[in-house]
């Protein structure tokens, strides 16, 4: 599969996930403002991860449209993904409304949380190495994969786990 095709598919999946998240919100009995902080955080993570995947894929497609394609196209994409992910981590950590209440999570929630943290850390490390050394497509696509996987996990949690407080 060519990188442009893979980026196009990733963009479609990201938009689909965000759309399905919106459908789940519409069919919940309460409005979003009445949700528990944990449920709102799940929705926020679903939307942020979907949007990050979409923006990364679109950025890669934009750079592939330059004629001739820059030699360091994947280096630029990895740099963009790294900066965006670092800003995402800082935003989530410094916003007290979006902090994850680990003491309220059940064991499976902690397992999922730490699994996603390990995936995200690996994805960010791959971006650094790709920017500094490799200049390959697959590490950049790994960042998109990590964000899409995190969005899918949040979507499944919204569907399968009863809203907090019910």
Secondary structure (DSSP) of 93-155: HH-GGG---GGG--HHHHHHHHHHHHHHHHHHHHHHHIIIII--HHHHHHHHHHHHHHHHHHH
Please state, rounded to an integer, the average pLDDT across all residues of the chain: 90
Global pTM? 0.92
Q: Is the peptide bond before 10 cis (omega within 30 degrees of 0)?
A: no
Burial of 95 (0-12, 13-18, 19+ CB in 10 A): exposed
pLDDT, average across residues 61-80: 96
Q: 3-class SS at 65?
A: coil
The yes-or-no verdict on residue 94 having pLDDT over 80 is no
Q: How far apart are CA 139 and CA 144, in angstroms?
A: 9
Q: 3-class SS at 28?
A: coil
Q: How far apart are CA 89 and CA 70, in angstroms?
A: 29
Region of 105 please: left (phi>0), alpha (psi -120 to 50) or beta. Answer: beta
**Residue 98 binned pLDDT confidence (cut-offs 50, 70, 90):** low
**Residue 57 binned pLDDT confidence (cut-offs 50, 70, 90):** very high
Place of tokens 């009995």: 29
């Amino acid at each position: 599969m060519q990188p442009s095709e893979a980026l196009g598919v990733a963009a479609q999946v990201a938009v689909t996930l965000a759309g399905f998240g919106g459908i789940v919100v519409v069919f919940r009995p309460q409005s979003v403002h009445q949700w528990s902080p944990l449920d709102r955080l799940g929705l926020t993570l679903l939307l942020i991860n979907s949007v990050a995947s979409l923006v990364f894929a679109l950025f890669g497609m934009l750079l592939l449209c330059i004629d001739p394609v820059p030699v360091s196209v994947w280096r630029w994409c990895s740099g963009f993904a790294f900066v965006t992910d670092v800003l995402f981590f800082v935003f989530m950590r410094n916003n007290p409304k979006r902090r994850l209440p680990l003491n309220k999570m059940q064991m499976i929630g902690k397992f999922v949380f730490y699994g996603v943290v390990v995936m995200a850390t690996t994805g960010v490390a791959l971006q650094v190495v790709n920017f500094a050394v490799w200049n390959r497509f697959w590490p950049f696509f790994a960042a998109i994969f990590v964000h899409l996987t995190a969005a899918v996990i949040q979507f499944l949690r919204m569907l399968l786990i009863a809203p907090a407080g019910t």
